[in-house]
Structure 1
């Protein structure tokens, strides 16, 4: 068996995720297939590359040696593929990835207005989008990092911070007693059913930590946030939501007392030039939707973080 780049990419994925299951999901293969591939690689190299335990996989000394040589090779191949693809299409197409955001429509509209031709790939997993950028499958990705659940950011990526900490609000039916308040507490909602999307990286763990810290234990349903919106409107559930989510005749968006849950908003690309070409349009689009959400606009003004597209960003860009 001769080692190929795909084998080295698999080893890097296992090391980065610390899990055969998560690595298989990232690579888009079945876990048994990845396990078989790993055994063959280890047989070829003459020793175990990872220690398997209940807590996950960690590299052995031989594994660390192989990974130290594999990572630069994988990064070089990604760069080659990305450059070749860009040359093949003449640089006209801009491949954008994003998790859900109210700013997305305005961002794409501004990019088109600047002569760019964006295509869109949506995914609930920020980690998956980041790895697609690193692999040259996307040019940029707009993602969120749930507080307390760090993303696995490929080292070759460049980042720009849009918001260092965006507080997460709560959506509830307009006839809910707590909707009469400008700010609600978790005990106000302790007897409600909550809906959480467990497929969003870090979301389930963060919400559970929030409940434990507040000393509440509400009943939690699993579902995506599009379904949650429909069930909130009919009075079935309450749900965590982005602060830019608009009110409606059937849904009220309110700040949670103490801002117990937050996310960091990041834009990722392989080069600073790629970031410079799209970040201003994203900042303007985010400022637009922030101004259209009264509760969030009030929060930003109170925190001294007015996010206006004509102003400087409220947080500095990462070096």
Structure 2
């Protein structure tokens, strides 16, 4: 039987998520690749670990047996790896602290939590700005070690030969409406149906506002009022019916407001994590990538309206 810890982790994540689709997002794998891995695990064990039907993915009795052992073996192996990491870092000068920048993204807290767990023992200090260009400059100069950045899908992030960006996901931009808004009960709303509204967007130095105006023009109108505000202020103004807001759909669960998808997804927002190209000498960039991907997947799970939208859109 050829089963290793990587296989146990796959089985554990699938069981936790209750869905191969959601598990593939958490693991940063394509769904067909994860399905192929599960098939190989079933072959090695001599039977299936999961039953898949319209209710989701559930462990079989064999799967439950595998999970019981995984819950013992995986924490023990993680503790062993962490002890080795601490010992080696004490000898080699590996990073014991990291400076992490976040720019126009709602994933910062989730990312930092996962990063602390993944890089155990490394102290993290966080900074916030509104400009991906500034974050890239600070990465290049070494005043930041990592940056988690949100940017309009049409933005080109600067690399300058020293900075590397990894794209996590591109999400459609939603519109935030008051619960009493006439369109709040729709699954999607046409951009043109909001032509008479006042608009709120997040602050930033990228191309998002230009892309928004261009999308409005294609929808047959010009927005008569567009203001930049931070997210909490946007929620309050929308809740009182004074405006609608363009928002990242993640982690939006506020009373009195409803996030609704724009018909045809005319605007998108991408999430990236970046570091200097020589970062591999100081910390494990695979852990950073996994923390960022896991943060996005967790944010989707914690945003039922967006998770439901993705399930409808992707079948």
Cα distance, 1:157–1:146 mapped onto 2, change above 3 Å: same
Does the residue aligned with 1:96 lie in a helix, a strand or coil? strand
1:132 to partner: Cα distance = 0.8
Which of 223, 229, 247 is residue 253 of structure 2 equivalent to? 247
- Check whether the contact 1:197–1:204 (CA below 8 A) recurs between aligned residues: no
Moved more, 145-154 or 255-264: 145-154
- Check whether the contact 1:186–1:216 (CA below 8 A) recurs between aligned residues: no
Which of 267, 272, 292 is residue 266 of structure 1 equivalent to? 272
Which of 158, 173, 196 is residue 178 of structure 2 equivalent to? 173
Q: Is residue 109 of structure 1 aligned with residue 100 of structure 2?
A: no
What's the TM-score, normalizing by structure 2? 0.64
Query: In 1, Cα distance between the equivalents of 2:97 and 2:181?
Result: 46
Q: Is residue 157 of structure 1 aligned with residue 193 of structure 2?
A: no
Equivalent residue for 2:30? Answer: none
Does the residue aligned with 1:180 lie in a helix, a strand or coil? coil
Equivalent residue for 1:228? Answer: 234
Equivalent residue for 1:122? Answer: 128
Which of 218, 227, 242 is residue 213 of structure 1 equivalent to? 218
Which of 292, 297, 301 is residue 307 of structure 2 equivalent to? 297
Query: In 2, Cα distance between the equivalents of 1:156 and 1:301?
Result: 38
TM-align CA RMSD:
2.2
Query: In 2, Cα distance between the equivalents of 1:111 and 1:287?
Result: 14
1:178 to partner: Cα distance = 0.7
Equivalent residue for 1:82? Answer: none
CA deviations on 1:19-65 (whole Å, 9 max, x unpaired) are xxxxxxxxxxxxxxxxxxxxxxxxxxxxxxxxxxxxxxxxxxxxxxx
Structure 2: gaps spanning 5 or more residues: 1-92
Cα distance, 1:153–1:125 mapped onto 2, change above 3 Å: same
Runs of 4+ in 1 over 6 A off after TM superposition: none
Query: In 2, Cα distance between the equivalents of 1:268 and 1:288?
Result: 20
- Check whether the contact 2:173–2:267 (CA below 8 A) recurs between aligned residues: yes
Q: Is residue 194 of structure 1 aligned with residue 199 of structure 2?
A: yes
Q: Is residue 100 of structure 1 aligned with residue 104 of structure 2?
A: yes
Which of 296, 300, 314 is residue 286 of structure 1 equivalent to? 296
Equivalent residue for 2:78? Answer: none
Query: In 2, Cα distance between the equivalents of 1:304 and 1:187?
Result: 24
1:211 to partner: Cα distance = 0.8
CA deviations on 1:198-235 (whole Å, 9 max, x unpaired) are 54321211111111111122322323233222211211
Query: In 2, Cα distance between the equivalents of 1:214 and 1:145?
Result: 23
Query: In 1, Cα distance between the equivalents of 2:253 and 2:194?
Result: 18
Does the residue aligned with 1:145 lie in a helix, a strand or coil? strand
Which of 244, 257, 270 is residue 238 of structure 1 equivalent to? 244
Would you say how many aligned residue pairs link Structure 1 and Structure 2? Answer: 217
Does the residue aligned with 2:183 lie in a helix, a strand or coil? helix
1:181 to partner: Cα distance = 0.7
Query: 1:34-73 alignment to 2 at 5 Å?
Result: none
What's the TM-score, normalizing by structure 1? 0.63
